[in-house]
Each structure stands twice: as structure tokens, then as C-alpha cells.
Amino acid sequence: MAHYEANGVRLHVQELGEGSPVVVCIHGLGMDTLASFYFTLAAPLSEAGARVITYDLRGHGRSDKPLTGYRFSDTVDDLIALLDAMDVDEPVHLVGNSYGGCIAFGVAAAQPSRVASITLVESMPAFGENWSAGIAYLFTGEIDGDHEDVEKHRASVRDEILSQSNVPDGARVDHMMKLSGQTLRRTGIATELPWSAPNTEEEIRGVTCPVLGIFGSRSWMVPLAPVLRDVQPHARIEVIDGLGHFILAEATKEVVALVKEWVFEPSYA
Amino acid sequence: MTSTEVRGETVLREIAAMIEQILDEAGLGETEDEITRDTVFHADLELQSIDLVVLAGMLEGEYGASVKLAAFAAELNAEQILSLTVGQLVDYVLRQVG
């Protein structure tokens, strides 16, 4: 297993392919790890000629799980430091799933010259009060409230997750929530992330690299697509019919095809 | 036993040892039942997909670069990955290394 020291933590990295272009995959929060990309996008993109870098966010997978250091800016700084540690000096194509897209925009806002393009997979840039409130809502059950409230909250989150999947499997969702709960309880994510400053709207509007947004037609993110269009008028938006939040796992072939075309035959070039 | 069957048994034992190592490192302890071809990674061993990434590295180290679990998994859908058995992996390794 390869680990790199970045921003004071050891991050677990898996690479496939070499050379250029470089695609960096950023996974989501809680139950997610680099495996979501390793077993989907990584092989086909590397076979097509890309160097694909996947990594576990701090607090996730096989990366360090410090108790603190989970502000939004920490997760952005981690990726910038990782690119430094790996001596990646050409602009990279960032692909972010769910929360991973927030980090992608954070990096592009902080260091525009490092980013060739951004692909959001069921994701939005992190800005505005609603973003913090949304993250806080997901984590509420882990932070406070009496036991009954916590159980009620978890049951409602569970129902929402189930409704987002095209292959609803209660046992699988229970398992995902168990993993997520472990991550949240063992780290400061739930107490730090929602209360940390996201990007400003001006910063997001200032991102000039090409942006592709891929959504599921019945996901909880797709109502935000017009907001993405507003702050990034040139963004290309693709909606995969009939699917919810989990398009990376449930519509892998469609997502791979879109990202492959985006990286290798860009219409924006 | 034919030589192919013997080779299959050997690879099964080698992969079982790798799995035991991952379970041990993940603090999941030893498996109650023997690992067989029918053992399901997720349901029987409680291995997560991130554990399979670690296994992928071990497989490549043992059998060479032609054994790429990422490429094998890219042909499967999410449900098929969750129901992956040890035997399927043994067969894949045998196909790749002959």
C-alpha cells in the first residue's frame, strides 16, 4: 500500500497508469473510500492512457484518522499537499463524487493553475448557508439530541438513502450507515466540517476551468443543477435517467463513458 | 487431481492466506469457517471494498501485473462486486497467469 505524508497526515493512495493526462479521483464522506473509484473509473481510464490517482480522504479508508483537522479547508489543503508530495506538476482533471466535488472546487479556487477540469459526480461546489446546513442535517444524529431523536433521524436518513438507490437493499444500507457512523464517531468530522467555512460564491464564480456535472434524474442533488448553471454558466450538465445519488456504482458504464470523453476528446478544447 | 486442479487448490490456499492477513490487520480476527471457493467476500468475511483494494495489491505482488483486480471489477456491476466469491477470484487469477 502506498502512503504519502501530506499536510501532516498519511494518506493512502492507489495509482493506475502513468504519464499524462492525470486524473485525480476524490471520494465522498462517511461510508465512502477510494474503492468507489478504484473499482469503477480507474481501470478503464488508465487503459485509455490516463494516470489515475485515487486516495482516501483523512479519516477514511486506510488513511490516517486523526481526531481533529476536518474543516473544509483541511480537506482542500490535503489534496494540494498530496499533489505536491507526489510531484504532480501538470494541471489535473479532478473527478469528485458527492463531497469530493466540493474539494475539487476548493482546490480550483485556491490554485487555479493546478486544475485542468472538474467533473462533479452527484455533487455541487461548497458555498452558501444551505451547504453547511445540509451537511449538518446529515450529521445531526451524531452530534446531539436525545436518543429517541437520534434514532428517528437515523431512520429518516436511512429511508432517504434507500430511496436514492435503484437496487434498494436494507441490509446494505444498514451496513453503509454502520460504516459511516464509525467514521463520524471516531473523528471530528461531524463536529468540525458543518461549522467550518466553505468557499464563497465569488470564489466559485471565479473558477474558470471547464466543469462537467453528472447527476441522476431522481437524485437529491439534481434540483441543484440550476444553481450550478447559475454560478458556472459554461458548465456541461448531464443527467442520467431514472437514477438517484449512487450513479457511480449503479450507472458505472455511463459515468465512465462521459468522463472518458471529457478527458480524452474534450468539446471545450 | 489434474495439474489444473492442483494449481487451483494452491492459488485458493494462497489467496486464503492473504485474506487472513487482511482480516488480522483490520482487527476482524480469524474466520470461524474455513475459506473455500464459495466464501463470499462481503457477506461471509465482512470485507469492505477498501479491503479488496488491499487484496488487489497483494495479488499483483504475488502473481504479477497481469492480475489487475481493478480491471476485473470494472467488468462487474455493484451487485456482482458485493456477491464476489473467493472461487471467482481464484478462477480469474488462473486465467491471467495460466
Asked whether the predicted pLDDT for residue A142 surpasses 60, the reply is no
SS3 (DSSP) at A15: strand
Gap from A128 CA to chain B (nearest CA, Å): 33
pLDDT-derived band at A131 (thresholds 50, 70, 90) equals confident
**Sequence-separated (6 or more) residues with CB below 8 Å from residue A110:** A76, A80
Q: Tell me: the pLDDT tens digits for B18-35?
A: 999 998 887 766 667 789
Residue pair A68/A74 in contact by the 8 Å Cβ criterion: no
Of A34, A250, A256, the CB nearest to B53: A34
Residue A140 or B8, more confident: B8
Q: How far is CA A162 from CA A167, A171, B41, in A?
A: 8, 10, 23
Nearest CA in chain A to B26: A62
The 10s digit of each residue's pLDDT in A217-249 is 999 899 999 999 999 999 999 999 999 999 999
DSSP structural state of residue B40 = B
> pLDDT tens digit string along A75-116?
999 999 999 999 999 999 999 999 999 999 999 999 999 999
CB-count exposure of residue A111 (10 Å: 0-12, 13-18, 19+): middle
Reading phi first (left if > 0) and then psi (alpha if -120 to 50, else beta), residue B33 is in beta
Q: Does B78 touch chain A (CB under 8 A)?
A: yes
d(CA A3, CA B69): 20
Say which residues have a Cβ less than 8 Å from residue B73's Cβ, sequence separation at least 6. A38, A39, A40, A43, B52, B81
Residues in chain A: 269
Predicted complex ipTM exceeds 0.85:
yes
State whether A43 and B52 contact (CB < 8 Å). Answer: no
pLDDT band at A146 (very low <50, low <70, confident <90, very high): low
